[in-house]
C-alpha cells in the first residue's frame, strides 16, 4: 500500500487543537519537551488561546508542528508513509517524519522562523490575497505589469495566493477582479510571506539554520521550492532557507504525488485544507487525521 502523508501549514490552527491527543503519555512528553524549548506553556496556548495569542506566528508555527507530529507519532505505528510533503510550515513536520531533523530541532527552527517572519512583516509592510477561479499563468501575466506583487502559493489549478506590498496587492486585487477571477480574498496575515519582503527573515534564518545538522531523508520528501522529490540533507537545508522568500509549488507537489500512484492520501494535522486541494485532482481515498477519534477510526479500518 502506497501512502502519501501531507502536513498542513499556517492558517490551520484553532483553539483546542490537539487536545484529544493529550491523554496519550507519549504525546504529553512531546508537549513537555516543546514547553521547555520555547519557555512557554504550549498546551495552554493551544487549548485555551485566546485566538490572538495562538495566531502569533511564533506560537502558531510551533503549535501546528506539535499537533502534526503528535498525530504522526501515533498513526505511523500502524500506517507507514511512502512519501511525505508539507505546505510551507508543514514542510518541517515532513522533515521530522523523514528523519532529516529531530523533533526538538524542528521546534527550535519553527519558533525562530515564526519570530523572524513577524519581524520581517513589521520592517517591510505587506499583505497577501487568495485568487480563486483563475489559472496561475493568467494571474502571472496580469501581475507582471504590477510592481511589488508576486505569486506566493501555487495551491491548485484554480487556486493561487499573491503576496507583496500593500498598495500593489490592493491594485492586483482590483485588476484580477476586473479580468474575471471568481473571487479574490485578502488574507489575515502579519506580512507578505513567500515574497522578497521577507528578506530580513531569510537572511537571519539562513544564519540561524547553520547551527543544525540535516541528515539525508529516510524516505522520499517533496520540497516546496522545487516541487520535486529531494533526499540530500544539505540540499534540503539550502532549499529551506529559500522557502521563506520563494513560492510554494503545491500544484507541482500534488502532481508528483498523483504520478507516484499513491493508494491513499493522508492529511496529518489540524483541519483539512490540503485534503480540499488534492480532492479536485484525484479520486483516490483522502483521509484527514486531526483528532484521536479520526486516528482510531483509521487504525481500526487498517
Backbone φ and ψ of 252, nearest 5°: -60, -40
pLDDT above 70 covers a percentage of the chain that reads 100
Point out the catalytic residue in the list 88, 108, 163, 195: 88
272: pLDDT strictly greater than 90: yes
What's the chain's average pLDDT? 97
User: CA torsion angle for 151, 153, 154, 160 (degrees, to 10)?
Assistant: -70
190 is catalytic: no
pLDDT in tens, 144-153: 999 999 999 9
Cβ-Cβ contacts under 8 Å for 25 (sequence gap 6 or more): none
228: pLDDT strictly greater than 90: yes
pLDDT above 90 covers a percentage of the chain that reads 98
C-alpha distance from residue 244 to each of 6, 114, 191, 204 (Å): 19, 11, 12, 11
Which grid cell is 159? Answer: 487556486
What pLDDT, on the 0 to 100 scale, is given for residue 301? 87
In the three-class reduction of DSSP (H, G, I as helix; E, B as strand; rest coil), residue 286 is classed as strand
Q: Which residues pair with 130 in a beta bridge?
A: 161, 185
Where are the CATH 3.40.366.10 domain residues in the chain?
Answer: 3-122+196-301
Average pLDDT over residues 33-60: 97
Where are the CATH 3.30.70.250 domain residues in the chain?
Answer: 126-186
Fold of 126-186: Alpha-Beta Plaits (3.30.70)
Which grid cell is 175? Answer: 485588476
What pLDDT, on the 0 to 100 scale, is given for residue 6? 98
Calculate Rg over the CA atoms of the chain.
18
Average pLDDT over residues 5-11: 97
194 is catalytic: yes
Q: Does pTM top 0.85 for this prediction?
A: yes
What pLDDT, on the 0 to 100 scale, is given for residue 188? 87
Point out the catalytic residue in the list 108, 194, 195, 246: 194
CB 197 within 8 A of CB 164: yes
Cβ-Cβ contacts under 8 Å for 238 (sequence gap 6 or more): none
Fold of 3-122+196-301: Malonyl-Coenzyme A Acyl Carrier Protein; domain 2 (3.40.366)
What pLDDT, on the 0 to 100 scale, is given for residue 195? 98
Average pLDDT over residues 94-98: 98
302: pLDDT strictly greater than 90: no
pLDDT in tens, 147-199: 999 999 999 999 999 999 999 999 999 999 999 999 999 998 989 999 999 99
Q: How many residues are there in the chain?
A: 302
Which grid cell is 40? Answer: 512557554
Amino acid at each position: 500500500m502506497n501512502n502519501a502523508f501531507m502536513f498542513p501549514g499556517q492558517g490551520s490552527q484553532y483553539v483546542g487543537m490537539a487536545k484529544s491527543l493529550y491523554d496519550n503519555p507519549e504525546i504529553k512528553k512531546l508537549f513537555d519537551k516543546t514547553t521547555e524549548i520555547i519557555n512557554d506553556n504550549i498546551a495552554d496556548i493551544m487549548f485555551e488561546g485566546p485566538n490572538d495569542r495562538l495566531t502569533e506566528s511564533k506560537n502558531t508555527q510551533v503549535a501546528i508542528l506539535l499537533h502534526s507530529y503528535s498525530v504522526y507519532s501515533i498513526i505511523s505505528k500502524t500506517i507507514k508513509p511512502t512519501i511525505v510533503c508539507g505546505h510551507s510550515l508543514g514542510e518541517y513536520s515532513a522533515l521530522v517524519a523523514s528523519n532529516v531533523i529531530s523533533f526538538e530541532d524542528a521546534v527550535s527552527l519553527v519558533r525562530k522562523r515564526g519570530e523572524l517572519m513577524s519581524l520581517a512583516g513589521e520592517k517591510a509592510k505587506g499583505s497577501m490575497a487568495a485568487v480563486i477561479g483563475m489559472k496561475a499563468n493568467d494571474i502571472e501575466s496580469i501581475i507582471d505589469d504590477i510592481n511589488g506583487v508576486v505569486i506566493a502559493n501555487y495551491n491548485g489549478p484554480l487556486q493561487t495566493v499573491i503576496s507583496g506590498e500593500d498598495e500593489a496587492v490592493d491594485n492586483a486585487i482590483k485588476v484580477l477582479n476586473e479580468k474575471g477571477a471568481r473571487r479574490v480574498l485578502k488574507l489575515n496575515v502579519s506580512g507578505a510571506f513567500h515574497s522578497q519582503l521577507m528578506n530580513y527573515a531569510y537572511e537571519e534564518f539562513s544564519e540561524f539554520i547553520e547551527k543544525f545538522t540535516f541528515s539525508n531523508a529516510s524516505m522520499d520528501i517533496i520540497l516546496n521550492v522545487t516541487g520535486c522529490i529531494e533526499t540530500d540533507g544539505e540540499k534540503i537545508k539550502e532549499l529551506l532557507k529559500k522557502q521563506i522568500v520563494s513560492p510554494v509549488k503545491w500544484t507541482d507537489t500534488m502532481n508528483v504525488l498523483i504520478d507516484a500512484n499513491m493508494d491513499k492520501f493522508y492529511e496529518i494535522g489540524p483541519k483539512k485544507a490540503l485534503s480540499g486541494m488534492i480532492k479536485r485532482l484525484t479520486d483516490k481515498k483522502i483521509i484527514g487525521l486531526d483528532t484521536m477519534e479520526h486516528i482510531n477510526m483509521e487504525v481500526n479500518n487498517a
